Amino acid sequence: MAGFFQRIADIFRSKANKALDRVEDPRDTLDLSYEKQIEQLQKVRRGVADVATARKRIELQAQALQKQGDKLQQQAKAALGQGNEDLAREALSRRAALGEQLGELKTQHDQVVDQEQKLVATSQELQTRVERFRTQKETLKASYTAAEAQTKVGEAVSGISDSTRSAGATMQRAQDKIASMQARAGAIDELLASGALDDLTQPVDDIQKELDRVSSGSQVDNELAALKAELGTGGGNDAAALSAGEDEKVENQKVADPKVEDQKLEDQKVEEQRTGGESA
Protein backbone atom coordinates (compact mmCIF):
# COMPACT_ATOMS: atom_id res chain seq x y z
CA MET A 1 0.00 0.00 0.00
CA ALA A 2 2.87 2.37 0.75
CA GLY A 3 4.25 1.80 -2.73
CA PHE A 4 0.84 2.63 -4.23
CA PHE A 5 0.64 6.00 -2.48
CA GLN A 6 4.26 6.69 -3.40
CA ARG A 7 3.45 6.13 -7.08
CA ILE A 8 0.48 8.51 -6.79
CA ALA A 9 2.72 11.12 -5.18
CA ASP A 10 5.31 10.68 -7.93
CA ILE A 11 2.64 11.07 -10.63
CA PHE A 12 1.29 14.28 -9.10
CA ARG A 13 4.82 15.58 -8.66
CA SER A 14 5.70 14.89 -12.31
CA LYS A 15 2.46 16.51 -13.51
CA ALA A 16 3.11 19.53 -11.33
CA ASN A 17 6.67 19.82 -12.66
CA LYS A 18 5.43 19.73 -16.26
CA ALA A 19 2.83 22.38 -15.50
CA LEU A 20 5.46 24.56 -13.84
CA ASP A 21 7.82 24.09 -16.79
CA ARG A 22 5.13 25.37 -19.16
CA VAL A 23 4.44 28.52 -17.13
CA GLU A 24 8.01 29.16 -15.98
CA ASP A 25 9.89 31.95 -17.72
CA PRO A 26 13.69 31.42 -17.54
CA ARG A 27 14.21 35.18 -17.61
CA ASP A 28 12.22 35.63 -14.41
CA THR A 29 14.07 32.72 -12.78
CA LEU A 30 17.43 34.25 -13.67
CA ASP A 31 16.39 37.62 -12.26
CA LEU A 32 15.25 35.95 -9.04
CA SER A 33 18.59 34.13 -8.69
CA TYR A 34 20.44 37.38 -9.26
CA GLU A 35 18.38 39.12 -6.58
CA LYS A 36 19.15 36.32 -4.11
CA GLN A 37 22.88 36.64 -4.79
CA ILE A 38 22.65 40.39 -4.27
CA GLU A 39 20.98 39.75 -0.92
CA GLN A 40 23.79 37.38 0.09
CA LEU A 41 26.38 39.94 -0.97
CA GLN A 42 24.66 42.59 1.13
CA LYS A 43 24.67 40.27 4.15
CA VAL A 44 28.42 39.69 3.73
CA ARG A 45 29.00 43.42 3.44
CA ARG A 46 26.99 44.03 6.61
CA GLY A 47 29.13 41.39 8.31
CA VAL A 48 32.27 43.19 7.17
CA ALA A 49 30.86 46.44 8.53
CA ASP A 50 30.03 44.81 11.87
CA VAL A 51 33.51 43.33 12.22
CA ALA A 52 35.10 46.65 11.30
CA THR A 53 32.93 48.34 13.95
CA ALA A 54 34.08 45.82 16.57
CA ARG A 55 37.71 46.35 15.55
CA LYS A 56 37.32 50.10 15.88
CA ARG A 57 35.70 49.73 19.32
CA ILE A 58 38.63 47.59 20.51
CA GLU A 59 41.07 50.14 19.20
CA LEU A 60 39.28 52.93 21.06
CA GLN A 61 39.31 50.90 24.28
CA ALA A 62 43.00 50.22 23.85
CA GLN A 63 43.69 53.90 23.35
CA ALA A 64 41.74 54.77 26.50
CA LEU A 65 43.64 52.17 28.55
CA GLN A 66 46.91 53.40 27.12
CA LYS A 67 46.09 56.93 28.25
CA GLN A 68 45.22 55.68 31.73
CA GLY A 69 48.47 53.74 31.86
CA ASP A 70 50.44 56.83 30.88
CA LYS A 71 48.61 58.84 33.52
CA LEU A 72 49.37 56.27 36.21
CA GLN A 73 53.02 56.32 35.15
CA GLN A 74 53.14 60.07 35.67
CA GLN A 75 51.36 59.73 39.01
CA ALA A 76 53.88 57.12 40.18
CA LYS A 77 56.74 59.47 39.28
CA ALA A 78 55.04 62.32 41.15
CA ALA A 79 54.52 60.13 44.23
CA LEU A 80 58.18 59.12 44.26
CA GLY A 81 59.11 62.78 43.90
CA GLN A 82 57.12 63.47 47.04
CA GLY A 83 58.72 60.53 48.82
CA ASN A 84 55.49 58.57 48.92
CA GLU A 85 56.66 55.17 47.81
CA ASP A 86 53.44 53.33 48.73
CA LEU A 87 51.38 55.63 46.53
CA ALA A 88 53.86 55.19 43.72
CA ARG A 89 53.62 51.39 44.13
CA GLU A 90 49.82 51.55 43.97
CA ALA A 91 49.91 53.60 40.76
CA LEU A 92 52.33 51.18 39.18
CA SER A 93 50.18 48.21 40.24
CA ARG A 94 47.15 49.73 38.54
CA ARG A 95 49.26 50.47 35.47
CA ALA A 96 50.34 46.80 35.36
CA ALA A 97 46.66 45.69 35.50
CA LEU A 98 45.90 48.03 32.61
CA GLY A 99 48.81 46.47 30.74
CA GLU A 100 47.19 43.03 31.08
CA GLN A 101 43.91 44.43 29.73
CA LEU A 102 45.80 46.00 26.85
CA GLY A 103 47.33 42.61 26.05
CA GLU A 104 43.91 40.97 25.96
CA LEU A 105 42.55 43.77 23.78
CA LYS A 106 45.48 43.35 21.41
CA THR A 107 44.73 39.64 21.07
CA GLN A 108 41.07 40.37 20.38
CA HIS A 109 42.09 43.08 17.96
CA ASP A 110 44.29 40.69 16.03
CA GLN A 111 41.47 38.15 15.79
CA VAL A 112 38.97 40.74 14.64
CA VAL A 113 41.39 42.07 12.04
CA ASP A 114 41.91 38.55 10.74
CA GLN A 115 38.13 38.00 10.52
CA GLU A 116 37.70 41.33 8.80
CA GLN A 117 40.29 40.51 6.19
CA LYS A 118 38.64 37.17 5.48
CA LEU A 119 35.22 38.76 5.17
CA VAL A 120 36.57 41.44 2.86
CA ALA A 121 38.15 38.78 0.65
CA THR A 122 34.89 36.80 0.66
CA SER A 123 32.93 39.93 -0.18
CA GLN A 124 35.22 40.76 -3.07
CA GLU A 125 35.03 37.21 -4.44
CA LEU A 126 31.26 37.17 -4.10
CA GLN A 127 31.09 40.56 -5.82
CA THR A 128 33.06 39.15 -8.74
CA ARG A 129 30.77 36.14 -8.97
CA VAL A 130 27.67 38.30 -8.86
CA GLU A 131 28.99 40.53 -11.64
CA ARG A 132 29.87 37.49 -13.74
CA PHE A 133 26.43 35.99 -13.13
CA ARG A 134 24.77 39.28 -14.07
CA THR A 135 26.62 39.32 -17.40
CA GLN A 136 25.69 35.70 -18.09
CA LYS A 137 22.11 36.39 -17.03
CA GLU A 138 21.69 39.24 -19.48
CA THR A 139 23.26 37.17 -22.26
CA LEU A 140 20.95 34.23 -21.58
CA LYS A 141 17.91 36.49 -21.40
CA ALA A 142 18.79 38.06 -24.74
CA SER A 143 19.32 34.61 -26.29
CA TYR A 144 16.02 33.34 -24.89
CA THR A 145 14.15 36.40 -26.15
CA ALA A 146 15.66 36.01 -29.62
CA ALA A 147 14.82 32.29 -29.69
CA GLU A 148 11.28 32.99 -28.52
CA ALA A 149 10.76 35.62 -31.21
CA GLN A 150 12.21 33.32 -33.88
CA THR A 151 9.90 30.51 -32.76
CA LYS A 152 6.83 32.75 -32.92
CA VAL A 153 7.79 34.00 -36.38
CA GLY A 154 8.41 30.44 -37.56
CA GLU A 155 5.06 29.29 -36.21
CA ALA A 156 3.27 32.20 -37.88
CA VAL A 157 4.95 31.53 -41.23
CA SER A 158 4.47 27.77 -41.24
CA GLY A 159 0.90 27.94 -39.98
CA ILE A 160 1.60 26.11 -36.74
CA SER A 161 0.17 28.77 -34.48
CA ASP A 162 -3.48 28.60 -33.50
CA SER A 163 -4.31 31.97 -35.04
CA THR A 164 -2.89 31.00 -38.40
CA ARG A 165 -4.66 27.64 -38.38
CA SER A 166 -7.93 29.35 -37.50
CA ALA A 167 -7.52 31.88 -40.31
CA GLY A 168 -6.71 29.11 -42.81
CA ALA A 169 -9.76 27.09 -41.77
CA THR A 170 -11.99 30.16 -42.07
CA MET A 171 -10.67 30.87 -45.56
CA GLN A 172 -11.23 27.26 -46.63
CA ARG A 173 -14.83 27.33 -45.37
CA ALA A 174 -15.45 30.58 -47.24
CA GLN A 175 -14.05 29.11 -50.47
CA ASP A 176 -16.20 25.99 -50.10
CA LYS A 177 -19.31 28.08 -49.51
CA ILE A 178 -18.58 30.29 -52.53
CA ALA A 179 -18.06 27.24 -54.75
CA SER A 180 -21.34 25.72 -53.52
CA MET A 181 -23.25 28.93 -54.17
CA GLN A 182 -21.74 29.27 -57.66
CA ALA A 183 -22.67 25.68 -58.52
CA ARG A 184 -26.23 26.22 -57.30
CA ALA A 185 -26.56 29.45 -59.29
CA GLY A 186 -25.28 27.72 -62.43
CA ALA A 187 -27.74 24.85 -61.99
CA ILE A 188 -30.65 27.27 -61.58
CA ASP A 189 -29.60 29.15 -64.72
CA GLU A 190 -29.53 25.90 -66.69
CA LEU A 191 -32.97 24.91 -65.43
CA LEU A 192 -34.39 28.31 -66.33
CA ALA A 193 -32.85 28.13 -69.80
CA SER A 194 -34.26 24.66 -70.44
CA GLY A 195 -37.70 25.67 -69.25
CA ALA A 196 -37.76 23.25 -66.36
CA LEU A 197 -38.18 26.22 -64.05
CA ASP A 198 -40.23 29.34 -64.69
CA ASP A 199 -38.51 32.69 -64.41
CA LEU A 200 -40.89 34.68 -62.21
CA THR A 201 -39.14 37.94 -63.09
CA GLN A 202 -40.03 37.44 -66.79
CA PRO A 203 -43.38 35.61 -67.05
CA VAL A 204 -43.97 33.90 -70.45
CA ASP A 205 -47.26 32.32 -71.60
CA ASP A 206 -47.65 29.05 -73.51
CA ILE A 207 -48.07 30.76 -76.91
CA GLN A 208 -44.86 32.71 -76.52
CA LYS A 209 -43.03 29.52 -75.53
CA GLU A 210 -44.27 27.79 -78.69
CA LEU A 211 -43.25 30.74 -80.86
CA ASP A 212 -39.80 30.75 -79.28
CA ARG A 213 -39.47 27.01 -79.93
CA VAL A 214 -40.44 27.37 -83.60
CA SER A 215 -38.08 30.32 -83.99
CA SER A 216 -35.27 28.28 -82.51
CA GLY A 217 -36.04 25.39 -84.89
CA SER A 218 -36.06 27.77 -87.88
CA GLN A 219 -32.68 29.10 -86.88
CA VAL A 220 -31.31 25.58 -86.77
CA ASP A 221 -32.78 24.87 -90.23
CA ASN A 222 -31.20 28.03 -91.61
CA GLU A 223 -27.80 27.10 -90.24
CA LEU A 224 -28.20 23.56 -91.69
CA ALA A 225 -29.09 24.96 -95.10
CA ALA A 226 -26.12 27.27 -95.02
CA LEU A 227 -23.81 24.35 -94.26
CA LYS A 228 -25.33 22.33 -97.15
CA ALA A 229 -24.83 25.28 -99.48
CA GLU A 230 -21.19 25.54 -98.51
CA LEU A 231 -20.71 21.83 -99.24
CA GLY A 232 -22.57 22.07 -102.61
CA THR A 233 -21.26 23.28 -106.02
CA GLY A 234 -23.09 26.56 -106.09
CA GLY A 235 -20.44 28.40 -104.04
CA GLY A 236 -21.00 31.06 -101.53
CA ASN A 237 -23.61 33.05 -103.54
CA ASP A 238 -25.78 29.98 -104.22
CA ALA A 239 -25.59 29.08 -100.56
CA ALA A 240 -26.70 32.57 -99.63
CA ALA A 241 -29.53 32.41 -102.16
CA LEU A 242 -30.58 28.99 -100.95
CA SER A 243 -30.53 30.21 -97.43
CA ALA A 244 -32.64 33.21 -98.40
CA GLY A 245 -35.04 30.95 -100.32
CA GLU A 246 -35.40 28.64 -97.39
CA ASP A 247 -36.03 31.59 -95.13
CA GLU A 248 -38.69 32.88 -97.54
CA LYS A 249 -40.26 29.41 -97.79
CA VAL A 250 -40.42 29.11 -94.07
CA GLU A 251 -41.95 32.54 -93.76
CA ASN A 252 -44.47 31.71 -96.47
CA GLN A 253 -45.35 28.52 -94.72
CA LYS A 254 -45.83 30.41 -91.52
CA VAL A 255 -48.15 33.08 -93.07
CA ALA A 256 -49.92 30.88 -95.71
CA ASP A 257 -53.72 30.98 -95.89
CA PRO A 258 -55.31 27.57 -95.16
CA LYS A 259 -57.92 28.02 -97.97
CA VAL A 260 -55.21 28.70 -100.53
CA GLU A 261 -53.35 25.62 -99.43
CA ASP A 262 -56.48 23.48 -99.79
CA GLN A 263 -57.06 24.81 -103.30
CA LYS A 264 -53.49 23.97 -104.26
CA LEU A 265 -53.96 20.44 -103.04
CA GLU A 266 -57.17 20.01 -105.07
CA ASP A 267 -55.47 21.34 -108.24
CA GLN A 268 -52.55 18.97 -107.69
CA LYS A 269 -54.92 15.97 -107.41
CA VAL A 270 -56.77 16.94 -110.62
CA GLU A 271 -53.48 17.30 -112.47
CA GLU A 272 -52.32 13.90 -111.27
CA GLN A 273 -55.62 12.30 -112.45
CA ARG A 274 -55.37 13.92 -115.85
CA THR A 275 -51.81 12.83 -116.29
CA GLY A 276 -52.68 9.32 -115.30
CA GLY A 277 -55.56 9.22 -117.90
CA GLU A 278 -53.34 10.36 -120.75
CA SER A 279 -50.75 7.76 -119.93
CA ALA A 280 -53.44 5.03 -120.09
pLDDT digits (tens, 9 = 90+) for 93-122: 888 888 888 889 899 999 999 999 999 999
Mean pLDDT of 156-174: 72
Distance between terminal CA atoms of the chain? 132
Mean pLDDT comparison of 104-108, 222-226, 270-274, highest-scoring range: 104-108
Question: For the whole model, what pTM was predicted?
Answer: 0.47
Residues 105 and 229: their CA atoms lie apart, in Å, by 142
Residues 38 and 33: their CA atoms lie apart, in Å, by 9
Q: Domains (ranges, CATH) in the chain?
A: 10-156 (1.10.287), 205-279 (no CATH)
Kindly tell me if the per-residue pLDDT of 235 is higher than 50: no
Residue 255: the pLDDT is 43
98: Cα separation from own chain's centroid = 80
3-state secondary structure of 97: helix
Percent of the chain with pLDDT over 70: 65
Residue 242: the pLDDT is 46
Contacts of 109 (CB under 8 A, 6+ apart): 55, 58, 59, 62
C-alpha closest to that of 243 among 224, 217, 216: 224
Residues 256 and 250: their CA atoms lie apart, in Å, by 10
CA distances (Å), 114 to each of 14, 48, 107, 143, in order?
A: 49, 11, 11, 44
CB count, 10 Å around CB of 192? 15
Residue 11: the pLDDT is 75
Q: Where are the alpha helices (DSSP H) in the chain?
A: 2-23, 26-81, 85-158, 162-194, 206-231, 235-255, 258-279
Residue 264: the pLDDT is 65
Residues 26 and 224: their CA atoms lie apart, in Å, by 86
Phi and psi of 172, rounded to 5°?
Answer: -65, -40
Measured in residues, the chain has a length of 280
Q: Which residue has the higher pLDDT, 151 or 156?
A: 151
Mean pLDDT of 217-227: 78
